[in-house]
Homo-oligomer: A and B are copies of this chain.
Amino acid sequence: MPLVVQKYGGTSVGDADRIRNVARRVVATLEAGNQVAVVVSAMSGETNQLVALAREVGGEAPSAREYDVLVSTGEQKTIALLSMAIHQLGHEARSFTGAQMGMLTDGDHSRARIQSIDTEALRRVLERGEVAVIAGFQGTDEEGNITTLGRGGSDTSAMAVACALEADVCEIYTDVDGVFTTDPNVVAGAHKLERVSYEEMLELASLGAKVLQIRSVKFAMHYGIPIHVRSSFHDGEGTWVVREEDVMERLVVSGVTYNRNEAKVRVLGVKDSPGVAATLFGPLSASGIVVDMIVQNLSQDGTTDMTFTVPRDQYAQALALMEEKAPAVGALRVEGDQDIAKVSVVGLGMKDHAGVAARMFEVLAAEGINIQLITTSEIKISVVIEEKYAELAVRALHSAFVEQGAAEPQAET
């Protein structure tokens, strides 16, 4: 009998009606002849309320251990309510907290990593034809302390459960129809992808597509569990995330993403000698600043310019740190710019299809958009441009690669 793991986010279980709706969907899957394990988040708004309470009572840095004890109550509420709703539809269901399902993690509170899952109790319930209703986001460490996986951790929980149970599919229910070629709010021609590879999904997620947590995609990729990202509001197919060899049509470009939440820092006239990068990036890392792109150019006079991007809310801190460290690397000065956007094209087909970068630069040039930085990977090209051109760039690239370009790879490969 096929085993389906379903994950419902906070919006899908946001109130009593929606919980009943999820119960109906779970029961339909069960009645279609599947074993069903369901992983749920806290009801939307709940976690924010709990976090606000923690701040109010525990100050800016409440105890990490107690913070996890507090916020884990959110998912515990949902599992009890969803189990009740399933009972109301005449089926058996049994809830599992992180501790009860043997979700063992390390002791790194609020961002714990899953170490193992004891699937025995889950399997017993599933084999009796009951629904296992599992609290996402939480586990316990070896000493029995409650831990949480960090925000969005319910995706990771679902994927870990799917892998441990060797599920046939992990369905991620969300408030969109699937993974889109780009943001439909920006480009009218954006359309849902039927299939993407894990690798493409990783690039799309990390670039801001926000449908799936990166960690959960890595899990599924490692164990080869197919993911089905679909809408919790209707029964239509969503997007399947599968192994590269299972993606039938290898699109040159499967998606165009953008991120306007970064800022750029440039350190000019740095001595070109060993250890310079470490001197600059060591302190950034120590301060918890997440550096995204890094570009270094050698100039003619033997000095170099070091440019990188950081999340906009860490920009001021990064700039101050660089100004402090600049003298140590002989830098002339430090510049920064917040009015930037990063635009990327992602596609498996790039691997064996030259000319994508050149085409991308042409398209942007035709719109009069200047490129400030460029980075590339095997299946992605990203550029930094002036922020005000973000939508224009996305529309132009989507039009060139996705709307017109869909037929091209077949012609050229």
- Which residues in chain A, 61-96, are within 8 Å of chain B measured between CB atoms? 62-63, 65-67, 69-70, 72-73, 76-77, 79-81, 83-85, 87-88, 94-95
Do A97 and B83 have beta carbons less than 8 Å apart?
no
**Contact of B76 with A20 in the complex, beta carbons under 8 Å:** no
How distant is A88 from chain B, measured CB to nearest CB, in Å? 6
A97 & B69 in contact (Cβ 8 Å cutoff): yes
CB < 8 Å neighbour of A57 from B67, B81, B97, B99: B81
Within A1-41, the residues touching B (CB, 8 Å) are: 16, 19-20
- The answer on a CB contact under 8 Å between B16 and A84 is no
CA distance A65 to B76 in the complex (A): 13
Q: Is A54 an interface residue (CB 8 A)?
A: yes
Interface of A is mostly: helix
Which residues of the other chain, B, contact A193 by a CB distance below 8 angstroms?
A: none
Partner of A81, one of B19, B54, B97: B54
Closest to A19 in B: B57
Taking CB atoms, residues of chain B closer than 8 Å to A58 are 81, 84-85, 87-88
Q: Which residues on the B side are within 8 Å of A97 (C-beta)?
A: 69, 146
B residues less than 8 Å from A50 (CB atoms) = 77
Q: Is A56 an interface residue (CB 8 A)?
A: yes
Bound form: Cα–Cα A50–B57 in Å:
22
Q: Evaluate contact between A81 and B99: CB separation under 8 angstroms.
A: no
A99 to B59, CA, bound (A): 27
20 contacts between A and B (CB under 8 A): A16-B57, A53-B77, A53-B81, A54-B84, A57-B85, A58-B87, A62-B84, A63-B83, A63-B87, A65-B94, A66-B95, A67-B80, A67-B84, A69-B76, A70-B76, A70-B77, A70-B80, A70-B81, A72-B76, A76-B76
